[in-house]
Amino acid sequence: MSRAQEMIAIMSRSGWRITDQRRTLAKIFTDTDGFLSPKDVYEQMKEKYPGVSFDTVYRNLRMLSEMGALEQFYFMDGGLKFKGGCHHHHHHHLICMNCEETVAFEYCPMDEQIRLPGNFKIVNHRFEIYGICERCQEDGVASGQA
């Protein structure tokens, strides 16, 4: 099953009507390996659907993230960005602050016994580590500033 088909299946299971616009949205993330800002997605969507509003695109991105079809990340310099989600297994990410290369890693800190205050029940969690990848280090990038 392709990433677009996986996204469409998640939409369908969540009770969404599968429209041509939503198929296009899934295709945008299938055709892109990297991260997309809401503005990036809006710009691509309005090429095919000139009447689409930014609010509609943004709301769909947030809902797709909540249902697990997309992963969302917050970059200090670039703000909120989205990427097609990996639905096969639980993992976390190392993210280069310069080139945005993302490397999945399997270790989950939540597997360790942690003490939380009160009677807090964890429902979900995310864990990302931001730094500079090996390639950018070799190119002389010392921090998240390119």
- Extract the annotated binding site for Zn(2+): 96, 99, 133, 136
- Alpha-carbon distance 9 to 109, whole Å? 30
* Known binding-site residue numbers: 90, 96, 99, 125, 133, 136
Show binding-site residues for Fe cation: 90, 125
Cβ neighbours of 7 (radius 10 Å): 25
Any residues with CB less than 8 A from the CB of 2 and at least 6 apart, and which? 30
* ∠ CA 98-100-101, rounded to 5°: 115
Phi, psi of 19 (to 5 degrees): -100, 170
